[in-house]
Amino acid sequence: QFFKEDFMQDYKLQVANAISAAIDSQLSQDEILSKIEIPKALNLGDYAFPAFVLSKVLRKAPQAIAAELVEKIDQTGFEKIEAVGPYVNFFLDKQAYAKAILAEVLAAKENFGNQDLGAGRQVPIDMSSPNIAKPMSMGHLRSTVIGNSIANLMAKVNYKPVKINHLGDWGTQFGKLMCAYEMWGSEAEIKADPIATLLKYYVRFHEEAEAKPELNDQARHWFKRLEDGDAEATRLWKWFREESLKEFMEVYDELEISFDSYNGEAFYNDKMDEIVELLEEKHLLKESQGAQIVDLDKYNLNPALIKRSDGATLYITRDLAAALYRKRTYDFAQSLYVVGNEQTNHFKQLKAVLKEMGYNWSDDIHHIPFGLITSGGKKLSTRAGRVILLQEVLNDAVNLATKQIEEKNPTLANKAEVAHQVGVGAVVFHDLKNERLNNFDFDLEEVVRFEGETGPYVQYSRARAMSILRKAGVDADAVTGSYDLNDPEAWETLRLLGDFPAIVKRAVTEYEPSVVAKYAIHLAKAFNKYYAHSRILADDEQKQARLAMVAAVATVLKEALRLLGVGAPDEM
């Protein structure tokens, strides 16, 4: 079910047509369309045409051209058209626009903004991908929530996202773990607290290996046993993996995020020979100090290390196998990797090797990088003890939300459920409202505030809209009656509603959920301003139309939050 791809496009066309009819073909329709701007402030109209683009041909000052254009343009269908300096400002007919946008949103409901950019083609999204036997980091949380939102956005424009958790469940670190377990591991200890215990073994292994480097050889040997399918090594590996995954699942459940696949690095163990063969066939492998590499000099990149001198494969070898597997399995339109920007070079190498292999679809592979979460301005790192444990962050957020709800709405029926939506939603929203490449500092108090540019603020604004509708006895999904709204106070909100489809499109093409988050804040602010200045429930002939707008705002805010992976309680 698709609605107008860009609701505002008709209005832009209306403006372009009016200009086109008033000038003597100095500019084509397309040229005019490309010049039309959206003024920063609403008092400068809804669209503006910069008259200076005509000053060369007409050999006149732009101010004079603007003034003349205003005289010539047929103003029918507009509220007014004005010259301000070198600009011609167009004001839409507010009443007609209000009718059209309210009718569109209330008919489309949550489908408002749906578009067909993807034609149903699949898009694997490599996201979350924590490492077995290590705590899930804030970086993995970012990848999870950004990836999830991009998946929602992709689905809204008719791609079929495939959410893949490319678990770090293979590699030499497993050799180290097994070696450590053999020396001083305890089954009971692991069972009691799996990830913390495995991490402890890992850290101790590194400490001891400094004095006894032969431990590293033993670890390599263990990993080789694993790669060769040895029974004991495989048993241990499976067990470590399962125990870790159980802990990760708790976080995913809390976030209500699921995956279509948990094929991690290990899944590609039996698919790497083919990669090595293909590289050999294409004469791309070179020997360097006993190792096999692909030279990437011409891309200005370090060589890709495909196979170590002991025959062990590497992270990138597994990613090559995964890329090929995904192309064959999903015939993807795009293949996305939501991974921190510290891996930018890795993904450049990955794409370059695929390109060298002759795969043109390597152009459809996109690394979606993101910045760091800092604490007190410092990078979080496991070693420096500045690990913010995810579970703790989410719990603290829910507790804080509970406290605020107790204060604001002590009689709320489903407090626990709402506190969960608000607390977890706050953390997710905070992450997504920042442009993904920016680093940002994490301060829980700030994140869960009900005021300011937070998730709870947006949720609260929507809950307020829902409460107005409840008071009026109106069902948000079935508002009928007149949409004739003639109220200057409502204009900003109405205009923002019309922008939603274009916002969705921009968020998708830039892989940038923050576009939606910022929009949601903007719409919530405009609506709250309107709420403060109007008597929505006053009994006059526009009451029904005002309620229609309230319902439309509630619908669009809920949908924007959904795209971000944030819940929208009806009451809070």
Q: Which stretch binds ligand ARG (CB under 6 A): 127-135, 215-223, 484-492, 520-528?
A: 127-135
Nearer to ligand ARG, 52 or 330 (CB): 330
Is 337 among the residues that bind ligand ARG (CB under 6 A)?
yes
Judged by CB under 6 A, which stretch of 126-134, 207-215, 407-415, 441-449 contacts ligand ARG?
126-134
Q: Which residues pair with 421 in a beta bridge?
A: none
Residue type, 572: M
Q: What distance in Å separates the CA atoms of residue 438 and residue 334, rounded to the nearest whole number?
A: 24
Smallest distance from the beta carbon of 49 to ligand ARG, in angstroms? 47
* 458: contact with ligand ARG by CB under 6 A: no
| Closest separation in Å from C-beta 96 to ligand ARG | 50
CA quadruple 527, 533, 536, 540: dihedral sign: negative
| Residue closest to ligand ARG when measured from CB atoms | 168
Q: Closest CB to ligand ARG among 369 and 567?
A: 369
Give the interface segment with ligand ARG, choosing from 97-105, 124-132, 153-161, 395-403 (CB under 6 A): 124-132
Query: How many Cβ atoms are within 10 Å of 472's Cβ, its own excluded?
Result: 16
CA–CA distance from 111 to each of 74, 234, 499, 561 (Å)? 35, 48, 14, 14
131 binds ligand ARG (CB under 6 A): yes
Q: Phi/psi zone of residue 384: left (φ > 0), alpha (ψ -120 to 50 degrees), beta?
A: alpha
Here the contacts of 431-435 (C-beta below 8 Å, separation 24 or greater) are 431/141, 431/142, 431/145, 431/146, 431/373, 432/145, 432/146, 432/149, 432/513, 432/514, 432/516, 432/517, 432/564, 432/565, 433/514, 433/517, 433/518, 433/521, 434/371, 434/514, 435/512, 435/514
Bridge partners, 123 (sequence order) = 161
By beta-carbon proximity to ligand ARG, the closer residue of 339 and 426 is 339
| 129 is a site residue for ligand ARG (CB under 6 A) | yes
Q: How far is the CB of 173 from ligand ARG (least distance, A)?
A: 11
Q: Shortest approach of ligand ARG to residue 339 CB, angstroms?
A: 4
The encoded tokens of residue 244 equal 């870790």
**Among 243, 319, 499, 512, interactor with ligand ARG by CB under 6 A:** 319
Query: How far, in Å, CA of 456 to CA of 418, rounded?
Result: 11
**Residue numbers 511-550 binding ligand ARG by CB under 6 A:** none
Output the six-digit token pair for 69.
């254009």
Least gap, CB of 139 to ligand ARG (angstroms): 7
d(CA 112, CA 132): 40
Among 161, 168, 194, 425, which residue sits at the site for ligand ARG (rule: CB under 6 A)? 168
Query: Does residue 166 bind ligand ARG (CB under 6 A)?
Result: yes
Show contacts with ligand ARG in window 31-70 (CB under 6 A).
none
Among 291, 339, 426, 561, which residue sits at the site for ligand ARG (rule: CB under 6 A)? 339
Q: Does 241 bind ligand ARG (CB under 6 A)?
A: no
Beta strands 122-126 and 160-164: pairing type?
parallel
**Binding region for ligand ARG (CB under 6 A):** 126, 129-131, 166, 168, 319, 322, 337, 339
